[in-house]
Chain A
Amino acid sequence: MRTTLLAAAVTISLVLAVVPVAAHHSFSAEFDAAKPFKLTGVVTKIEWQNPHTFFYLDITDDQTKKVTNWAFEMGSPNGLMRNGWTRNTLKVGDVVSVEGSLARDGSPYGNARTVILTSTGKRLFAASSQTENP
């Protein structure tokens, strides 16, 4: 019983750890531009909201086969729409690849710069707040 509770507590804390802490924030306080990633997974949830839209992917580790739910931050809905998105561009169950910068704290969380829809190969800019305009 105690083991079950402990396992439940660990599971819950792992789930909570996935949820991004900050709403709006300094990009470089949260993400490390020197830690780029490209990851592919299955969409589990989309939060189409200001100031940042989030989506979540189940990503399977190639070696251990362990599945981890990752969170990815994009720009605001209006910024995304200017880059060709709608709120239905991503659907739960879609397979997508994401390129961007990893969170500084090592959690399964990243800032998405580009999202590639596997079914069509379409690349969409994720209205990231990473780069300064020229």
Chain B
Amino acid sequence: MRAAFALTIAIVVAAFWTARAQDRGGGGGRIEPAPRLVDGTPNLGRVPGEKGVWDVPYIQNMGMRIPGRDGKTAAERGATAESGRGGSKAEPDVPFLPWARAIYDYNSRNNSKYDPEGYCLPPGGPRLMATPYPMEIIQQPDHKRVLMIFEGATHIWREIYMDGRPHPHGDELNPTYLGHSVGRWERDALVVDVVGFNENSWLDYYGHPHTDLLHVVERFTRPNKATLHYEALIDDPGAYSRPWTVAWNIPWKADGELTEYICQENNKYLQKLTDDFGQPLFAPR
């Protein structure tokens, strides 16, 4: 009797772990290892001859994506985005400076009405990996660079310099939406150091602010073919009293390809513009 009970438990546990493993691996249950380039570097993109894109999830609130002591984020413990709309009080793990707290609470109260990305301006920093349109990572070791191309987020790309160059200093560093990215491999992790952000973007849809002191350290790993694990250290002494880390997984969509998405199309201001004959210049046709 006791043996039968133990066997039942063993079967249940085995089934649970199998299910968990399938969740992680995706693609019908068989977990394929992450592909590698000829030189052994992890391949964070497509295998030649195959399709595939990273199906970037919609992460609305990075305050819910801070790994706790058990390694799990609030989102992984079952919290929903909606339960996070409590302003800074609901996010004790985000080390707001007072002004950043006030701005964040304001953005919470008006439901992100003034979200720059809501007006088709690009995301800055980790929000690139939280804007729900597919993206691709293209490694060009011969050119000592990695390219990331994003269908969404205003159809943008970023170039990560892998040639060992430092960030520009002083006024040589021109503040931009995506900042200046230099990368290196640490074992199987692509580590990208980014500085030089302008202040025109938010960290996420919920409206965590940042300043031009923002310094982001990103870690991209591919634990298996179907999963990209993303971690970002957010180090902005202008807005937060200490660095904080956010993390989530990005699933691989094996049959996916990028398509066109032009956020700026339905720009109401452009649609009011008329030509020399009084005809609308950019009205939808």
What residues of A have a CB within 8 angstroms of the CB of B113 in the complex? 26, 29
Which of B58, B61, B133, B205 is A131 in contact with, Cβ under 8 Å? B58
Shortest C-beta distance, A18 to chain B (Å), equals 15
B276 within 8 A of partner (CB): no
Per-residue B-contact encoding for A28-40, CB less than 8 Å = 1, 0 else: 1100010000000
Question: Is A16 part of the contact surface with B, judged by Cβ < 8 Å?
Answer: no
Q: Is the CB of A132 within 8 A of B112?
A: no
Contacts of B266 in A (CB 8 A): 23-24, 49-52
Residues of A within 8 A of B115 (CB): 25-26, 29
Q: How far is the CA of A87 from the CA of B116 in the complex (A)?
A: 29
Q: In chain B between 99 and 155, which residues have their CB closer than 8 angstroms to a CB of chain A? A: 110-113, 115, 118-120, 132-133, 151
Chain A residue with Cβ nearest B56:
A133
| In the assembled complex, B261 has its CB within 8 A of some CB on chain A | yes
A133 with B59, Cβ < 8 A, contacts A23-B268, A26-B115 known: yes
Chain B interface extent, by class: 20 to 34
Using CB atoms, name the residue of chain A closest to B85. A28
Q: Does A76 contact B (CB under 8 A)?
A: yes
- Residues of chain B within 8 A (CB-CB) of A129 are 58, 132
Q: Could you tell me if A29 and B110 are in contact, using CB atoms closer than 8 angstroms? A: yes
B31 at the interface (CB under 8 A from A): no
Q: Kindly identify which residue among A28, A47, A51, A81 contacts B263, using a CB–CB cutoff of 8 Å.
A: A51
Q: How large is the interface on A (under 10, 10 to 19, 20 to 34, 35 or more residues)?
A: 20 to 34
The distance in angstroms between the C-alpha atoms of A22 and B267, with both chains bound, is 9
Contact between A25 and B118, CB atoms less than 8 A apart: yes
Known contacts A49-B284, A131-B58, A28 near B111 by CB under 8 Å: yes
Residue among B59, B111, B132, B265 making CB contact with A51, cutoff 8 Å: B265
- B57 & A76 in contact (Cβ 8 Å cutoff): no
Given contacts A50-B261, A81-B259, contact A24 B111 (CB under 8 A): no
B261 touches A78 (CB 8 A): yes
CB proximity of B206 to chain A, nearest CB, Å: 10
Known: A50-B265, A76-B261, A78-B151. A132 touches B110 (CB 8 A): no
Residues of chain A within 8 A (CB-CB) of B110 are 29
- Interchain nearest-CB distance for B230 vs A (Å): 13
Query: Could you mark each residue 238-264 of chain B with 1 if its beta carbon is under 8 Å from any beta carbon of chain A, else 0?
Result: 000000000000000000000111111
B22 within 8 A of A: no
A residues 79-134 in Cβ contact with B at 8 Å: 79, 81-82, 129, 131-134
Which chain B residue has the least Cβ–Cβ distance from A34?
B82
Task: State whether A78 and B112 are in contact (beta carbons under 8 Å apart), knowing that A26-B118, A49-B284 are contacts in the complex.
Answer: no
Q: Find chain B residues with CB under 8 A from A29 CB.
A: 110-113, 115, 118
B274 within 8 A of A: no
Given contacts A23-B268, A24-B119, A29-B110, whether A132 and B263 have CB atoms under 8 Å apart is: no
Per the bound structure, the CA–CA distance linking A107 and B179 in Å amounts to 40
Give min CB distance, A24 to chain B, whole Å: 5
- Chain A residues, Cβ within 8 Å of B260: 78
The distance from the CB of B280 to the nearest CB of chain A, in whole angstroms, is: 14
Check A51–B82 contact: CB distance below 8 A: no
Distance of B123 from chain A, by nearest CB (Å):
13
CB distance from B185 to the nearest CB of A (A): 28
- Residues on B lying within 8 angstroms of A by beta carbon are 57-61, 75, 80-82, 85, 110-113, 115, 118-120, 132-133, 151, 205, 259-268, 284
Apart from A23-B266, A51-B120, A78-B259, 9 more pairs, CB < 8 Å: A22-B268, A23-B267, A24-B120, A24-B266, A49-B284, A51-B261, A76-B261, A133-B57, A134-B57
